[in-house]
Structure 1
Amino acid sequence: MTTSPPRAPHSAPPPGPPQPAADGLVSAARRNLREIAHGLSHPSHPPVPPLAGARKRWRRLLPYAVVLVLTAIFLPVTINVLTHEYELPDAVAGLLVVAQTGPLLMLAHRPLQAWWIIFPADVLGALVLLAYPEPPQGIWPWPPPTLICYFFVLLAVALRETRRTAVSVWALTAATSLVLHLAATDRSNGTSALLPALGAVFMVIGAVIRERGDAQRRLAEQETISEAERAQRTLLEERARIARELHDVVAHHMSVITVQADSAPYRISGLPEEACEEFAAIAASARESLTEMRRLLTVLRNDGTKGERAPQPGLDRVQQLVEATVRAGLPAELSLPARLPDMPQAVDVSAYRIVQEALANVIRHAPGALTRISVTADATHLTVLVVNDRARQPDSPLESSGTGHGLVGMRERVRLTGGTLDTGPLPGGGFRVAARLPLTAATPKDPEDS
C-alpha cells in the first residue's frame, strides 16, 4: 500500500500592492457635492425674517422696510442706467431689471431663493450687453447698480444660511465672473474681479454677525437651563436641610420610646414574662431605627459639613430673633400669645424658620422698613404673619433682584406640615408673608398641588 506524499498546506496568495485611494477621494467628492447641492437648494432656516421673534413691532417690521427701500432705490436706478448708458431697448431693460431687482423683496425671508433668481438674471444681463455696442463709460460684465445690488444679496445669504452654503454661493459667483472675463477679455474692465473680492468682504461680515447672533442665542438658552438647574438645586438643598431638622425631631421621639420600653419592667411591677420580652423587642426596634436614621443623616450631610450641633430653635426663641434684628437696624414689632399651645415639633421649627427667613428677606430687599410679626393660634391652627412696609432708607437694597430661595424654603416647610402659605407684594408697597400651620398631625401636600 502506497501513500501519497503530504500536501503542503494551502497558503494565501502574497498580498498585492495597496489599492489606490482614488475611490475614497471620488466618494468624498461626490458626498461633498451632494451636500453642497442640497445646501444650495434647501434653505437652512424657516421662511421668516431674522427679527420675527422680537417683542417690539417696529423691530419685526424692520427687515421688510429695509428690502422695500432697497427695491425702491435699485429698480429705477438700474432701468435708468441700462436704457441711457447702455442704450438697451426699454422692453429688454425692463425685463432684466424686474428679474435683477424684484427678488430683493424676498431677502427678508427667503434670501437663497432670491439669489437663485438674481444670479442667473445678472449673468443673462451680462450676455445681453455683449450684443450691443460698448458705451464709452460702460462697465462690463457687472454694471454698477447690478454690482451693488448683488453685494446686498450676498450679505443676506451670509446672514441667514450656513457657512457651507455661503461659501458655495461665493464660489459660483467667482467662477462665473472668471468665465465671463475669459469669454470677453476686451470688454471686461475690472468688475469681474471686483465682485468676488468685495463680495467676500460682505459675506465675511454677514457670517460674523450671524455667528455672533447664534452664540448669543446659545448663551441665552444655556442661562435659562442654568437658572432652572439652580432653582432645582436650591429646592433639593432646602429639602435636605428640612430633612436634617426633622431627623432631630424624630430622633428625640424614638429616644423617648427606647427609654420608656427599657425602663418599663422596672417601673411597672408584676409584668408577665411575655410583656417584658415585648418591651425589650420594642426597645431593640427603636434603637435599630435610630441607627438607620443616623445613616440617613450621614447621607444628607455628605457635603463635608458637620452640621449644626445645637438644638433646633422654636417659637420660644422668636423674641430673641426679633431683638437681634432690631439691633441690626431693622425696626420690628412682635405680637406673641401669652402662652404658646402644644404643637408638633416640626410645626414649631417651621414657624421659627419662616419668621427668620421673612426677616432676612426684609433686611436684604427693604432695609429700614417697619416690620410687624404676629403669631396667633386657635384650637386647630397656628398662624404666622410677617408684614413689612416700604423701605424707608434711601440706600439701595442689598439685593436688587431676589433669587426666590427663601420663598422656596417657606413653601417646602409649609407643605411638609400640611399647611398653607400666602406671599406677595402689598398695594402700597412692602411685602406680606402669611403661613397657616395645623396644630395636629397632617398629611404633607404633594409638590404638584402646592
Structure 2
Amino acid sequence: MRKHLQAGWRVLVTARDAECGPPVAGLPGPLWVRHAITTVLFLYLTAANILTWGHLFGTLVAVVFVLAHLLPWALSTRSPLTAWRLAMGVLVTLTVVSPLLDFPRILMGLPNLERPWSMGALALIPAIYQAAARAPRQYRLPIGVITVGLTMLASMIPLGGRVDSFFPPLFALAAVLAGVSRSQLRDTESELAWVRQDMADEQAKTAVLQERTRIARELHDIIAHHLSMIAVRTDSAPYRLSISDDRVREELAQLGVAARQALAETRGLLGVLRAEDAGPELAPQPTLGELPGLVAAANESGPAVTLTVEGEPRPVPAAVGLAVYRVTQEALSNARRHSPGAAVQVWLRHLPDGLHLVVDNDPGADPPGEAGPGNGITGMRERIGIVGGSFQAGPRPDGGYTVRASIPLAGNTEGAA
C-alpha cells in the first residue's frame, strides 16, 4: 500500500513529463482522418460547452469553463502528465464550485443547475488517454484509480436533489483502459525489438566466427603447402648442396623437425575447427588465376558479367589470391540474389603496391529474391581484413550496389599466381 501511495504522490506532484514515452495516436486510420475526427470533436465540444455554460452563467463564465476543459486536451500530446494534472484539477474545481453555484439558485427559487459533466469528461478524455498510454509502468495504476475516483465523485454529488450522469466515469474508465492497453502494447513491442536486436547481434557474432573458421580451413592448405616445402627442402639440402659440416646438417635437421611439428599442430587445430559432420575438403583452394573462370561460369548461369583486368599481372601471395576470388564469388552471388537480371562489372587493378577490386552491379530488372540473414558482407570484410586490406560495400543512388576492396602486397610475393 505504501508503495502505491508513494507512486500516487509522485504522479500527482513530482513526476515529470520527460519520463513519459512518445506520443501515441488516439484514433486508428490515416493521419488526415484522425485530424478530421479530432477537429470535429473539438469544435462540437467547444460549441456544446459554450451553449450550456453560457445559458447557465453567462458568456464570460462559459469561456472560462470551456478553456478549463480544452486546455488539457491541447497539452496532452506535448506534456501528458501536466495535462492530466490539469484535467484532474478541473474535476476537483468543478466538484467544489458547482454546489456553491447551485445553492444560491435553490434559495432564489431558480431551476436546478444541470452540470454538463458528460461534455467535460469527453473533453478531458484525450488527456487521460495520453497519460495512461505514455506514463511509466509504476504510474499507470495511480493514474487509473485517481481518474476514475475523481470522475465518480464529481458525478455522484447531488445538485438540487439529483445525481449527475454516470456516463463520465464510464468514459474515463474506458480512456484509462485503452491507454493502459496501448502502453502494454508499446512495452511488448519494445521488448520484442530488444530481443530482435540481441538476436541480430548474436547472429552477427556467430557469422563472424563461422566465417573465420571457414577462412582458417581454407588457409590451412596454403600454410600446409609452404610448411611441407620447408620441411622437404631442409631435409634434402645436405644432399643437394653437398654439405659436410655436421653443425650445418644438425641445424637443417632441426629446421625440418620444427617445420613438420608446425604442420602437425596446424592440422590438429584444423581438426578442432572442423564441424563433426564436415567431410574432408579434397579440392585445392582457388587462386587469382581462376578469376576468369569464375566470371565465365557466372555468365552461363545468370546476367552478363564483364571482367576488366588493368595493370601488369604478377604473382601474389596465395592468401591474397584466395581472398580476391572468394570476395568476387560472394559479390556475384549477392548481385544475382538481390538484383536479379542486373549486369555486373568486375574490375581488378594490379597496382605497384597492391590489388584493387571493384564489383559493381546495376539495379535489378526483376523483384529481388528473399533476403537471407545478411552475413555475406561480414564474410567479405573478414577475408579482406585477414590479408591486411580495406573493404567497403554499399548501395548506389540509382539502386545498384558496389563492393570495393584494396589489398596491399607484402614484399615477398612468392606463391600462387
**TM-score with structure 2 setting the length:** 0.77
Query: Equivalent of 2:74, from 101, 105, 127?
Result: 105
Unmatched tracts of structure 2, length 5 or more: 413-417
Query: Equivalent of 2:228, from 238, 250, 255?
Result: 255
Residues 439 and 181 of structure 1, relative CA distance in 2, 3 Å threshold: closer
The structure with the larger Rg is 1
Residues 377 and 371 of structure 1, relative CA distance in 2, 3 Å threshold: same
Question: Shift of the alpha carbon at 1:119?
Answer: 2.4
Instruction: Give deviations 1:57-103, integer Å, cap 9, x for gaps.
Output: x97xx99x99888766545533431341xx33666555555444434
Give distance in 1, aligned partners of 2:51 and 2:280: 84
Query: Equivalent of 1:343, from 296, 299, 316?
Result: 316
**Structure 1 residue 149 corresponds to structure 2 residue 123:** yes
**Structure 1 residue 120 corresponds to structure 2 residue 92:** yes
Query: Equivalent of 1:377, from 340, 346, 350?
Result: 350
Alignment RMSD (CA, Å): 4.0
**Structure 1 residue 440 corresponds to structure 2 residue 413:** no
State the AA in 1 paired with 2:163.
N
Q: Which residue number in structure 2 is paired with residue 395 of structure 1?
A: 366
Residues 184 and 247 of structure 1, relative CA distance in 2, 3 Å threshold: same
Residues 298 and 40 of structure 1, relative CA distance in 2, 3 Å threshold: farther
Identity of aligned residues (%): 29
Residues 52 and 177 of structure 1, relative CA distance in 2, 3 Å threshold: closer
Question: Shift of the alpha carbon at 1:363?
Answer: 1.7
Residues 162 and 136 of structure 1, relative CA distance in 2, 3 Å threshold: farther
Give distance in 1, aligned partners of 2:293 and 2:312: 16
Question: In the TM superposition, what are the counterparts of 1:136-175 in structure 2 within 5 Å?
Answer: 139=114, 143-162=117-136, 165-175=139-149
Give the number of the structure whose residues are more often helix, by fraction. Answer: 2
Question: Shift of the alpha carbon at 1:136?
Answer: 5.8
Query: Equivalent of 2:300, from 292, 306, 327?
Result: 327
Q: Secondary structure at 1:437's aligned position in 2?
A: strand
**Structure 1 residue 81 corresponds to structure 2 residue 81:** no
Q: Which residue number in structure 1 is paired with residue 9 of structure 2?
A: 37
Residues 158 and 135 of structure 1, relative CA distance in 2, 3 Å threshold: farther
Residues 365 and 283 of structure 1, relative CA distance in 2, 3 Å threshold: same
Q: Select between 313-322 and 246-255 the one with higher mean Cα deviation.
A: 313-322
Give distance in 1, aligned partners of 2:17 and 2:333: 49
Instruction: Give deviations 1:140-193, integer Å, cap 9, x for gaps.
Output: 5x63322323434432332222465444344345545665677648633352x3
Query: Equivalent of 2:387, from 417, 420, 424?
Result: 417
Unmatched tracts of structure 1, length 5 or more: 1-28, 443-450
**Structure 1 residue 200 corresponds to structure 2 residue 173:** yes
Paired positions, count: 400
Question: In the TM superposition, what are the counterparts of 1:244-323 in structure 2 within 5 Å?
Answer: 244-302=217-275, 305-306=278-279, 308-323=281-296
Q: Secondary structure at 1:377's aligned position in 2?
A: strand
Q: Select between 164-173 and 273-282 the one with higher mean Cα deviation.
A: 164-173
Q: Which residue number in structure 2 is paired with residue 10 of structure 1?
A: none
State the AA in 1 paired with 2:130.
A
Give distance in 2, aligned partners of 1:165 and 1:438: 60
Q: Which residue number in structure 2 is paired with residue 22 of structure 1?
A: none
Retained in 1: the 8 A contact 2:295–2:305? yes
Retained in 2: the 8 A contact 1:44–1:162? no
Give distance in 1, aligned partners of 2:117 and 2:300: 82
Which structure has the higher relative contact order (CA within 8 Å, separation 6+)? 2
Q: Select between 335-344 and 317-326 the one with higher mean Cα deviation.
A: 335-344
**TM-score with structure 1 setting the length:** 0.72
Question: Shift of the alpha carbon at 1:34?
Answer: 2.2
